[in-house]
Amino acid sequence: MPPSVPSAPRRVARILRTSLFAQVLCALVLGIVVGKLWPDVATDLQPLGDGFTRLIKTIISPLVFCVVVVGIAKAGDLKAFGRIGLKALIWFEVASTLALLIGLIAANVVQPGSGMHVDPSTLSTKAVDAKTGGGSLPSTTEFVLNALPTSFIGAFAENSLLQVLILACLVGAALLHLGHTKVPQVLPAIEQAQEIIFAIVGFVMRLAPIAVFGAMAVLIGQYGLGVIETYAKLIILCYVAAALFVALLAVALRIVTGLSLRKFLRYIREEMLLALGTASTESVMPRVMQKLRKAGARDDAVGLVLPTGYSFNLDGASLYLSIGTLFIAQAVGVDLSLSQQITVVLVLMLTSKGMAGIPGSAFLALSATASSLGAIPAGAVALLLGVDRIMDSMRVVTNLLGNCVAVFAVSRWENALDLERAKKVLDGEAVAAVSEGDEETAPKAEIPAQATKEAAAEAS
């Protein structure tokens, strides 16, 4: 007797019960419907998304600390860790500069702001000040100093990723210096803490559909769908330019590693959909770190490159800033010369590095760029207030993919990528999960020779 085939409703119910991707997708659609039909109710759902983001943020700093410390200690070579950091910064600078240039070329060709004939005197900077909270981007000196921790606990309390990274590097270096036998309990304790944090990530991720529902309902309830019609040319240009940049990322990934970006997108589709729904790459950072490790990238490479990229490699933001600058210039009738556009690139190369974690950072960077040119009225930045939230999806996807490709590329560059494992994982083959304790499947260097000698001496 042939086995009974479950009915369609049962199959749908099973998919919704077991697939996070399906749950988030349904929540996304429901959020749009609620935001469109009941906008007043939708605006009250903001705490759903904010609460989820808060829970995720509490996990990020300790997770980064554990992954980096374990990565350094098990790789056994602090110089290799330094090389990874240097190569990551080189990759970040090349990628973000390329994004800026693509944005400028696209804005010059399409000219999304031409024909608007906006009178700058009718624009006020008060709306921009409200968006940014009257803040400002840090100078280069302030940025460097702010990356240095003033308190071990304070770095975690303030959720400062760069400070946590520095602390993790110091602790990892200390473990290598002392050797395995002098502090035999420290590394296992950190590894166990890491597993606990990943378990917490699994618990929190069950709330992801609720967060996506609330965030999407608020977006549609506040801005409606009409803003898309008003800024259609700008929106389409930004998304097409982002698609072109992602295509270049795919080519770069294929050349450097031989891996397929399309398969990687399928591999992280749940995290990508969650990032789109919440308009935040931070909400998926722990899960993406987990999946990159499972896909064959070594712990130290994942732990250093991905968190650093959140501060230094905002490709989507760079793309948006370059297009946005030319858009507001064209809208108020200012024709920027070639030298002024080169100045735009140079200024944005600096300002885009200090944006992470600052409220309204895109508007602060745009204001700083406009001020440096001296030709664009400061109030013109307000033209992008209505469309900024719509651009979040483009920025989130491009930023996230840019940083994930950077992890694979730098890992391959440093021989810290298990290509065979990566191909199997992206092809959907069953591979034991690193995050679930199968550490032996991850590519790691041997325990430092110094530690091995000390252990042998103590045993004898």
Quote the tokens at residue 35: 């935001």
115, amino acid identity: G
Q: What is the mean pLDDT of the chain?
A: 79
Going by the DSSP 8-state scheme, the letter that residue 297 receives in this structure is B
CA 428/CA 424 separation, integer angstroms:
6
CB atoms within 10 A of CB 450: 15
Query: What average pLDDT score do residues 134-143 get?
Result: 62
Q: Which residues contact 155 (CB under 8 A, 6 or more apart)?
A: 61, 149, 163, 164, 166, 167
> Residue 229 has what pLDDT?
61
Q: How confident is the model at residue 288 (pLDDT cuts 50, 70, 90)?
A: very high
Quote the tokens at residue 298: 């070594």
Q: How many CA atoms lie within 13 A of 64 on its CB side?
A: 28
Between 409 and 346, the higher pLDDT residue:
409
Q: How confident is the model at residue 260 (pLDDT cuts 50, 70, 90)?
A: very high
User: Under a CB-based contact definition with an 8 Å cutoff, are residues 431 and 423 in contact?
Assistant: no
10 Å CB burial of residue 310 (0-12, 13-18, 19+) is: buried
Between 229 and 299, the higher pLDDT residue:
299
Phi, psi of 313 (to 5 degrees): -130, 65
Instruction: Please say if the pLDDT value at position 38 is more than 80.
Output: yes
Q: Which residues pair with 417 in a beta bridge?
A: 297
Query: What average pLDDT score do residues 348-356 get?
Result: 67
Query: What average pLDDT score do residues 103-113 get?
Result: 90
What's the helix, strand, coil split of the chain in %, to 5?
75, 0, 20
User: Under a CB-based contact definition with an 8 Å cutoff, are residues 28 and 277 in contact?
Assistant: yes
Q: How confident is the model at residue 450 (pLDDT cuts 50, 70, 90)?
A: very low
End-to-end CA distance of the chain: 67
> Residue 262 has what pLDDT?
93
User: Under a CB-based contact definition with an 8 Å cutoff, are residues 285 and 201 in contact?
Assistant: no
Coil, helix or strand for 310? helix
Between 168 and 352, the higher pLDDT residue:
168
pLDDT digits (tens, 9 = 90+) for 44-102: 888 888 888 888 888 888 988 988 888 888 777 778 878 888 999 899 989 999 999 99
Three state DSSP letters for 26-79: HHHHHHHHHHHHCHHHHHHHHHHHHHHHHHHHHHHHHHHHHHHHHHHHHHCCHH
* Nearest to 186, CA basis, from 60, 300, 74, 84: 74
Query: What average pLDDT score do residues 295-309 get?
Result: 88
For 210-222, give one letter per residue: b (16+ CB within 10 A) or e: bbbbbbbbbbbbe
CA 134/CA 238 separation, integer angstroms:
27
Angle value at C-alpha 339, between 337 and 341, nearest 5 degrees: 70
117, amino acid identity: H
Query: What average pLDDT score do residues 180-193 get?
Result: 85
Query: What average pLDDT score do residues 369-383 get?
Result: 73
Query: What average pLDDT score do residues 194-199 get?
Result: 88
pTM of the model: 0.77
Q: How many CA atoms lie within 13 A of 7 on its CB side?
A: 2
Angle value at C-alpha 220, between 216 and 226, nearest 5 degrees: 150
Query: What average pLDDT score do residues 422-431 get?
Result: 84
> Residue 335 has what pLDDT?
83
Going by the DSSP 8-state scheme, the letter that residue 207 receives in this structure is T
Q: Which residues pair with 297 in a beta bridge?
A: 417
Rg (CA), the chain: 23
Least confident span in 137-141, 321-325, 374-378, 456-460 = 456-460
Query: What average pLDDT score do residues 227-234 get?
Result: 71
> Residue 445 has what pLDDT?
39
Going by the DSSP 8-state scheme, the letter that residue 370 receives in this structure is H
> Residue 459 has what pLDDT?
40
> Residue 85 has what pLDDT?
86
Q: How confident is the model at residue 440 (pLDDT cuts 50, 70, 90)?
A: very low
Instruction: Please say if the pLDDT value at position 134 is more than 60.
Output: no
